[in-house]
Amino acid sequence: MLSPIAARAVGGSGRFSTSGGEDIWSTYRPTHDEEQPETASEEAEKKGRGAYLLTCLIGYSMSFIVFGSQVSILGPTIAGLADRLGVEEPDLSPLFTALGVSCIVSGTPSGWLVDRVPTHHVLIGSLVIEAIGFSLVPLMPSVWSLTALYFVVCFSYNFTNSAVFTSLAWMFPKRAGPGINLVLAMFGLGSFFIPLAAQACKIYLGSALAVFYLVGGLAALSAVPFFFVTSPARPVAAGGDGAHGARHHASRTLELVTTVAVVVLVFFTTAAETAIGNWIYTFSLREVGDSDAAAAAANSAFWGAFTVGRVFGAAISHATTPAVLLLGSVPFSILGCALPLLAGRAQLSRSLVLAMAALTGLGNSAGYANAVALLECYVPVTGFINGVFGAVAGGACMVGPVLVAMMAKYTSLRYMSMPWVGLVLYALHLPAILTAITAGTKLLKLPLAPEEEPFLAPAGAAVTAATENGAGHSIAPAAAAPPQADGAVTNGHH
């Protein structure tokens, strides 16, 4: 479950850049480097910028390893939490509700705070809350006290998301793609390793719940780099006429249809991701009768395939379109969920669960980023739309896992409800994608209207003023960056 702020950070193209580290470093390369020899002061300044960049990227990567671990931590630990509290796994469904509701309500406050407080200060605060909160999870005496704590901890997720992606957007205007790719890969890495870490804790420390202390410690460690570097400064928007939005098409109706179709797609892909990612561990234990180690392997297979698919999609995005990536990935997820349903409960096996995990993870990997990229092919993605994405994704994080929990508790399907929920959600991807493509294609064929305030943006276009972030002086990452072109959104929160 990743933040839609990533869409803002890559600028108007809607694509994640795949040009690698060269694009990141070239943002800070002085334009006269090849024209005349560097002086000693220029060389020192260049080294200082490099050190600043490296420190920031290490901190952002660590925070997203932690973020990926936190989002997927309930999967391999829910059985241990249920045993400790004396309830069944489905009785812990309020945790997923807390996750969804807290992500919905924290979207606007996180954007407001990032607009007014240095981004690294926000990031330190959110990571400290996560460190303390996750260290307290194994100590909670009841489901409801655990749910209340989980709500507070999950409330910080949007602050971490907003701070990291806004920092990258300000550091690398129009060139944030490689940095975004890096932190998204780290998210998948954290999700991949957390089931294995939980299993190691169970073997060597006596309880899988010890992994919460590990994640809490990593969150605290992730905050350390940001004590040594100031926050990036907000870049100055080009132009002063107050019109930065891209030109809009004449048909507001088609814009609305296209946008709604993609918003619905974001809901489906996030709900499916969290439903499978959070319940495949328990599915392997309860339906297949596998060991904890095998269940952890299935959980890691899902997130591992998810990470590989995301990296592969980023690598080929320059040679194809978001529509092709989306339509090409959905069949993998549908096939993955269909495998256990076609085999039936009696024929379930470890290899079949691993195949399901790999196929669904691979297919799901293209969903979120390419959904946003698809919309930007037709309609400029404004800060207002980003806010809608955040609320919808938060709700999906609640709905997907809770659907599985409720069906497991109140129907005879038990945990076979997981592939059924996944199959329906993945199948619904197709009409949402096709609707967006159809409406968007018609939209592009219409004549362009004069420039005006962005549709679906209540405040209209605005010019972002330069602000100072941080107390002391450090290498000013945004000062050397090129000004943003018209149509780029400097800050997605309005």
User: For the chain, what is the radius of gyration of the CA atoms?
Assistant: 23
303 CA to centre of own chain:
13
Per the CB < 8 A criterion, the answer to whether 84 and 138 are in contact is: yes
Token look-up 């004549």 returns 447
DSSP SS3 for 456: coil
Predicted local confidence at residue 20, as pLDDT:
42
Per the CB < 8 A criterion, the answer to whether 2 and 180 are in contact is: no
* 268 vs 120: CA distance, rounded Å: 32
Per the CB < 8 A criterion, the answer to whether 243 and 130 are in contact is: no
Read off the amino acid at residue 205: L
Q: Any residues with CB less than 8 A from the CB of 203 and at least 6 apart, and which?
A: none
Neighbours of 5 (CB within 10 A): 29
For 451-491, where are the alpha helices, taking DSSP H only?
none
Q: With residue 485 as reference, give the H or E element that holds it.
A: none
Q: Walk along the chain (494 residues) and give the pLDDT tens digit of each residue.
A: 444 444 444 444 433 343 444 444 444 444 444 555 657 676 777 777 888 988 998 999 999 999 889 888 888 898 899 999 999 888 888 888 888 788 788 877 887 788 788 989 999 999 999 999 999 999 999 999 999 999 999 888 888 888 887 788 788 765 655 666 677 778 878 888 888 899 899 999 989 999 999 999 999 999 999 999 999 887 765 444 434 444 444 578 888 899 999 999 989 999 999 899 889 988 998 888 888 888 888 988 998 898 888 888 777 877 888 899 899 999 999 999 999 999 988 888 999 999 999 999 999 988 877 887 788 788 875 545 655 776 788 788 888 988 998 999 899 889 999 999 999 999 999 999 999 999 999 888 887 655 444 445 444 434 333 333 443 333 344 344 443 433 333 333 34
Rounded to 5°, the CA angle 196-200-202 comes to 115
DSSP 164-176: HHHHHHHHSTT--
Per the CB < 8 A criterion, the answer to whether 385 and 456 are in contact is: yes
Count of alpha carbons within 13 Å of 288, Cβ hemisphere only?
24
Q: Any residues with CB less than 8 A from the CB of 386 and at least 6 apart, and which?
A: 4, 5, 7, 8, 492, 493
> At what angle are helices 383-410 and 93-116 packed, to 10 degrees?
170
Predicted local confidence at residue 427, as pLDDT:
96
Q: Any residues with CB less than 8 A from the CB of 180 and at least 6 apart, and which?
A: 6, 9, 10, 16, 17, 165, 168
Beta strands in 158-303, from DSSP E residues, in sequence order:
none
Read off the amino acid at residue 170: W
Neighbours of 411 (CB within 10 A): 11
Q: What are phi and psi of 478, to 5 degrees?
A: -80, -20
DSSP SS3 for 116: helix
* CA-closest candidate to residue 443, choices 390, 489, 374, 383: 374
Q: Any residues with CB less than 8 A from the CB of 413 and at least 6 apart, and which?
A: 407, 420
Q: Any residues with CB less than 8 A from the CB of 342 and at least 6 apart, and which?
A: none
Question: Which class for 470: exposed (0-12), middle (13-18), buried (19 or more C-beta within 10 A)?
Answer: middle
Domains of the chain: 5-27+46-233+250-445 (1.20.1250.20)
Predicted local confidence at residue 103, as pLDDT:
79
DSSP SS3 for 249: strand
Name the token pair of 276. 């499978």
